[in-house]
Amino acid sequence: MRRLRNAKIVATLGPASGDAATIAALFAAGADVFRFNFSHGSHEDHRARYGMVREIERQTGRPIAILADLQGPKLRVGRFGPGPVMLEEGALFTLDMVDQPGDASRVFLPHPELFGAVAAGHTLLIDDGKLRLQVEQVDAERIRTRVVAGGVISDRKGVNVPDVIVPIPALTEKDRRDLSFALSLGVDWVALSFVQQVSDVLEARELIGNRAGIMSKIEKPAALGQLEGIVRASDAVMVARGDLGVELPAERVPPVQKRLISIARKHGKPVVVATQMLESMVSASTPTRAETSDVAGAVYDGADAVMLSAESASGRYPVEAVAMMNRIIEEVDRDPLYRTLMDAQQQPPLPTRADAICSALRDVTRIIRAAATVSYTTSGHTSMRAARERPDTPILSITPNVHTARRLALAWGVHSTVSPDVRSVEEMVEVAIAATLREGFGRVGENITISAGVPFGESGSTNLLHIAALR
């Protein structure tokens, strides 16, 4: 099941892809990571899908990553008595603390934190930005607004507040229950929604520890002022363009995407680009040309992975969407310009032993025209640093830890395998040669480069670079 590309594919599971046959087809079509969206579905739904993914992993012998995406503190209005109502442009509209059905003049807002955070002049966005309200007056129980962009509003529509950091916990009570369940299953990554500041990531780290990697979703303008810190505190990041595109002017989203990819590359953290990548394939068997360019553009920018949401979770063509994304990435990989861009975007190594070894590894690999880069790792750190260098050969990662192997399925260019730990350089070379030949990365007579840490089995000890001939 070797992939003929470097960037990875994240596919969301849902009603259209909740059975074993479809999940197997998604994997065969190119999915490397399966996303469980905890905004939808029951714990039992997720448990069943988890078992299906692990069975496919057992059958294929290929580590598969599972990403648990927490709902986060989504703000919503209450309900409307007469059903959906029309808010006319220029009208006054109040959001208050009165738990009664709303009408065309007011609605319940069950989030007291907002009443102390917003001020006159701030903007409230309703229903993914379809309605825009400008705050005129605030007191302890009411937010009086003027309708700037009107339209129909109905029960439980989302509220976005782009102008302020909302003082709400990064993890709601629902998130904490979902997180505990996801960790009990054994998920490999946990995605945090609506991260606003570094403390949000640190709060999650206290609960998660090393049981799963933390992926921070960048979808709030407040996070943009702390991007470096958020990336450093996280294990991976996601450009979540849905809510980000609601709270930011649309023209600002592409520069943010490129900036976040660059910062993530600098720190060697995987970065995922998500939302509406092949949106038309929810209902059509082929994407628009603009959508294919969007996917390709994210890959050209250096993203580790691109993600499908509704396309694979609830669309009519989930397998076709993954297959299309796979073909787009393969086409980019074959383009000589892609390698030129990867080299041009190369970040200087950090002053650490791991970066020194992996940077040299990249140069040696190119000079000797190695067939593959083999990376021995216990925690995944060595392979992540190798992926940061974007070598022009595949990265064959060997680890004795299946949890590490699964987590690395998200990283650019990494083909992850599980093998018993080695105890000597000679054994390391033999295992690397056997794995390279077995996985189809090279032929007898070709060279490979190997990075590892000595003594073996110690996390964070990368200090060895070796060249071996396949035999």
Q: Which of 275, 365, 404, 449 is catalytic?
A: 275
Q: Which of 47, 54, 74, 76 is catalytic?
A: 76
CA 84 to each of CA 45, 152, 156: distance values in angstroms, whole numbers, following the listed order: 31, 6, 11
Nearest alpha carbon to residue 178 among 128, 149, 145, 212: 212
Q: Which of 35, 157, 265, 407 is catalytic?
A: 35
Q: How many residues are there in the chain?
A: 471
CA 294 to chain centre: 16
Q: Is the preceding peptide bond at 249 cis, omega within 30 degrees of 0?
A: no
**85-87/236-240 β-pairing:** unpaired
Specify whether 174 is catalytic: no
Specify whether 76 is catalytic: yes
Specify whether 130 is catalytic: no
Residue 460: what residue type? G
CA 393 to each of CA 163, 362, 404, 444: distance values in angstroms, whole numbers, following the listed order: 45, 9, 21, 16
CB atoms inside a 10 Å sphere around CB 177: 13
User: Distance between CA atoms of 392 and 372, rounded to whole angstroms?
Assistant: 9
CA 59 to each of CA 23, 55, 147, 406: distance values in angstroms, whole numbers, following the listed order: 13, 6, 57, 15
DSSP at 349: P
CA 448 to each of CA 303, 434, 471: distance values in angstroms, whole numbers, following the listed order: 25, 11, 11
Residue 449: what residue type? T
Q: Which of 3, 5, 106, 217 is catalytic?
A: 217
Residues tagged active-site = 35, 76, 217, 275
